[in-house]
Structure 1
Amino acid sequence: MQGNFIISILFQFYAHFGWAGSLVILLGSLITALPYRGRSNEKYSFLNHFISELGEIGVSKLAAVFNIGMIIGGTLFLPFIAGLGIVLGTLWAYIGMAAGLLAAISSILVGVFSMDRLEPHRKAAMTFFRSGLVTVLFFTIAVFVQPPGERVIPLAVNIFGIIAIASYSAFLVIVSKKTDKKSQENYLLDPAEKKIRPRFWRTPFLEWMLFFATIAWFLCVSLILIYE
C-alpha cells in the first residue's frame, strides 16, 4: 500500500520537481557568478570560466550557494527523471531514465566535492557529462518515437535536446583528446593548467552551452507536462 501511495504521489507531482530543480541550479549559479572574483581578481565570465569554479571554496565568495544549489537541484531531479521515464514508457525512455538518475546523483556529488577537492570533483563531473549525454540522447529519441496520437511531449522540445547533445559531444571530444602526464583525460577541468586565461576558452564555453541547453530542456518538458 505504501509503495502504491509513493508511486501515486510521484505521478502527480514529478513534473514540478523538474522545474524546481532547474531553477534551483540556474539561480544558484547566476547568483554566485555576480560577486565572483577569481585568483587574478577577474570577474566571472561564461566565455572563459568553468561552471565548477563558482563552487571553489576559498576563491568564490558564494561557493556555498552554488554547492548547496547543486545538491538540492540534483536531489529534485531524481523524482522528475524517474517519473518522466515511466510516463514515456519505452525502452529508450528507460535507458534515459537510468542514465538520468546517475547524472542527478553525479550533480549532487559535484556539490559535495567542490572544485578545491579536484580529484573527486573531476570524477563526479566527468560522470555527469557522460551520463548527461546519454540521458538527453535517449530521452530525445523517446520523444521522437512517441505515437502521433499519444504524444506526451511535443517534438519542438527536442530543439533544446539536439543543442544539448551537440554541446555534450563537442565538450567530451575536446576533453578526451588531451591528457596530462598522468593520463587523466579530464585535466582540462582544472583552470590552473592555463598560465594565462584566454578571453575566449572553448572548453568552459561549451560546458556552459550544454548547461543552458540541458536546463532549458528540463524546464520546457516539466512545464509542458504541468500545463498541457
Structure 2
Amino acid sequence: MSRSLRRGALAASALAFSIASLAACGAGNDAQTLEIKPDNAAVTKGDIKVQNALVITQGTKDGKGPAVVSATVFNTGATPQTLDAVTLAGATGKVTLKDSTGGAKVTVPAHGSVVLGGKGNASAVIEGGRQAVKDGDAQKVVFQLSQAGDVELAAFVVPASGFYAGYGPTEAPAAGATPSGSASASPSGTPSPSGSASPSGAASPSGTPSGSASPSHSAGH
C-alpha cells in the first residue's frame, strides 16, 4: 500500500471513530437531544387541523385538581366552525369547554385558529384530574367540530412541569379567599366613621362657654 493510501485510510478511521464517539455521547441519559420537545399529536380532517395535542395533569405527583386538554385547532376553510365538545374515549372525566372570555362557545374562525390551554386562551378542563387520566399514557381525545364532525387523535398525558408548565391546569382559588377580602374592606371602612365630624364638632360646644364670658363682662358695666 502506498504512503498516500495509508494516510487516507488512517484519516477515514479517525473520522469514523469520532462520529461513533459523538453518537455514543448523545445516546446517554443526559443527552441534549432528550431536552428537545418531542413532536406532539396532530391530525387533519377537512378544513380542520388539530396540532400539538396533549393532556396535561397537575405539575406534582400528589397535586390535586383538574387536568386539561391543550391543543391548537386550525381552520383553513372560508367558514367559521364551532368546537362543540372535547371528549376522552374510555375515560370518565367530563371536559368543560370555555372560550378566552369564559363563555361556553368556542369558535374557530375562518382561516384562523384557536389555542386551548395557557393564560388568556380558551380552555378544556377535565374533571377528576389524575383519576381520569394517567401520566405517560396516550389518551384518545375527540374534538367535535360543527362541520368537520369528530376529529380524533391520541394525545400524550404529561404533567404540567418544564415546557408544559404554562399550559397546565390551575387550581381553583381557596374558599377562604373571599372572607379575607371582605375583612380587608371592613377595617378600611371603620376608620371613616370614627373620623367623622361628630367628635370634631364636639369641640365647638367647649368654645361656647368661652364665648359666654362676654355677658359676664357686660354685667361689670
More strand as a share of residues: 2
Q: Same fold (TM over 0.5)?
A: no
More helix as a share of residues: 1
If the length of structure 1 is used for normalisation, what is the TM-score? 0.23
Higher relative contact order, chain-length normalized (CA < 8 Å, sep 6+): 1
Structure with larger Rg: 2
